[in-house]
Each structure stands twice: as C-alpha cells, then as structure tokens.
C-alpha cells in the first residue's frame, strides 16, 4: 500500500508501516529497496522510510538538532529535496528552511547552527546529490492526494484545499511533488 506520507512494506508476509517524506521514490508495487530508521519511544516503535540512503542520512542529521523530532524532520524532507536542504544549510539560508511546515525562524536558525559543520562534512563525504535529484513521484497525482498529504502534515482541511488550489495554478496539477512543495510555501 502506498499513500503520500505512508507505505506498508511487505517483507516475507509481514507488513511494516513506514512514514515517508512526500514524494519519496518508493514504488507502490513490486520490489523496492527502502532505507529505514526506527524511533523507539515508551509508547511506540515508529519506522521511517526513505527511497535513498542520503535522504535517510539527512533525516538522522536533522534528528540531532535541538528541537527537531522525527515528525518535523520528515516535514522538512517533504518540503525540501535533500540537495536543497544541504544547500540551504551551507548557504545559511534560514528563509528556505522556514518553507517547511512547522519550521519557524528560531528552529531554522538552530538547524543552521547545529548542522553547519555536519552538512559541510556530509556533502564532502557523501557527495551532494545532483540538482533535481530529489524525490520522484511515479504515476499521476491528483489534487486530493496533495490535500491528503497536507492534512497528514498537520494542515487544517480548509487551509490545505486553499494552498493546493493555489499551487495547481502555478504547477502541473498531475505532479504531486511539485504541487505539495508549492502548497507548503
């Protein structure tokens, strides 16, 4: 099963429910390699999935930032492609980070402070993804999928619909990734 922010992965007949960034390059059917991160809390064990190793590694870097938990880290990776996130940190661009849902000026400044050295080291050791190498979306997306994605990120339905309708006038309404990215601004 594949939804904008969740995937159920069948591994030898056992279904694992994973939270994924919007537009993650994980196919709805067939075999897939998914890089995961497990967050263990008193009340839950939660799996997060990523279509690329560098996206998972960025998620882990974000978790080391004071005030950033898994939900916010996922929202950041849903709003910014991995290469955009690294470029924003390297450039000290807090405004770009605040495009992600739930990231205010204070949190963006904290991300810049905590990740400046780590992002530089990461981009040298891992190599920055090529521009445009962000998440891929397979198949056709609809406005309702984009609205559902925004709802999953915490938007109110009225606000989600308004943002998606505005985004549909700026980008191709069949491109879920672009639609959601513009709606998040």
Residue 1 lies in a domain: no
Residue 158 lies in a domain: yes
Tokens of 90: 């390297």
Torsion of the alpha carbons at 84, 58, 54 and 122, rounded to the nearest 10: 90
21 and 88: one domain? yes
147 and 76: one domain? no
72 and 155: one domain? no
Q: What is the pLDDT of residues 25-61, one digit of tens each?
A: 766 677 778 888 888 889 888 888 888 888 888 888 8
Residue 74 lies in a domain: yes
Q: Are 85 and 77 in contact (CB under 8 A)?
A: yes
Residue 81 lies in a domain: yes
45 and 81: one domain? yes
Q: Are 29 and 170 in contact (CB under 8 A)?
A: no
Residue 55 lies in a domain: yes
78 and 103: one domain? yes
61 and 147: one domain? no
Please tell me the distance from the alpha carbon of residue 150 to that of residue 152, in angstroms, as a whole number. Answer: 5
Residue 119 has pLDDT above 70, yes or no: no
Q: Report helix, strand or coil for 50.
A: strand
Residue 133 lies in a domain: no
Q: Total domain count for the chain?
A: 2
Q: Are 100 and 150 in contact (CB under 8 A)?
A: no
Integer-rounded Cα radius of gyration of the chain? 16
26 and 92: one domain? yes
Among 81-90, 126-135, 174-183, the range scoring the smallest mean pLDDT is 126-135
120 and 147: one domain? no
Residue 44 lies in a domain: yes
Domain boundary residue, one of 93, 127, 161? 127
Q: What is the pLDDT of residue 171?
A: 83
Helices 82-91 and 70-79, packing angle to 10 deg: 100
Residue 162 has pLDDT above 70, yes or no: yes
Please tell me the distance from the alpha carbon of residue 30 to that of residue 21, in angstroms, as a whole number. Answer: 19
Residue 35 structural domain: 6-127
21 and 92: one domain? yes
Q: What is the pLDDT of residue 57?
A: 85
Tokens of 161: 């619909």
Please tell me the distance from the alpha carbon of residue 11 to that of residue 116, in angstroms, as a whole number. Answer: 37
- CB-based burial label for 176 (10 Å; 0-12, 13-18, 19+): buried
150 and 122: one domain? no
Nearest to 107 by CA among 94, 117, 88: 94
Q: What is the pLDDT of residues 129-146, one digit of tens each?
A: 433 333 333 333 457 777
Confirm whether pTM is higher than 0.75.
no
């Amino acid at each position: 099963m594949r939804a904008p922010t969740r995937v159920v992965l069948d591994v030898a007949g056992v279904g694992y429910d994973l939270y994924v960034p919007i537009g993650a390059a994980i196919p709805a059917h067939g075999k897939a390699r998914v890089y995961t991160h497990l967050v263990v809390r008193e009340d839950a064990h939660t799996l997060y999935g990523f279509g690329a190793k560098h996206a998972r590694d960025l998620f882990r870097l974000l978790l080391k930032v004071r005030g950033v938990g898994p939900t916010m880290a996922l929202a950041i990776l849903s709003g910014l492609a991995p290469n955009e996130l690294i470029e924003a940190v390297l450039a000290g661009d807090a405004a770009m980070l605040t495009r992600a849902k739930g990231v205010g000026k204070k949190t963006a400044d904290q991300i810049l402070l905590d990740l400046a050295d780590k992002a530089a080291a990461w981009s040298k050791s891992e190599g920055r993804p090529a521009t445009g190498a962000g998440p891929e979306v397979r198949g056709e997306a609809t406005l309702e999928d984009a609205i559902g994605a925004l709802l999953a990120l915490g938007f109110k339905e009225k606000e989600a619909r308004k943002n998606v309708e505005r985004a549909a006038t700026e980008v191709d309404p069949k491109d879920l990734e672009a639609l959601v990215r513009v709606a998040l601004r």
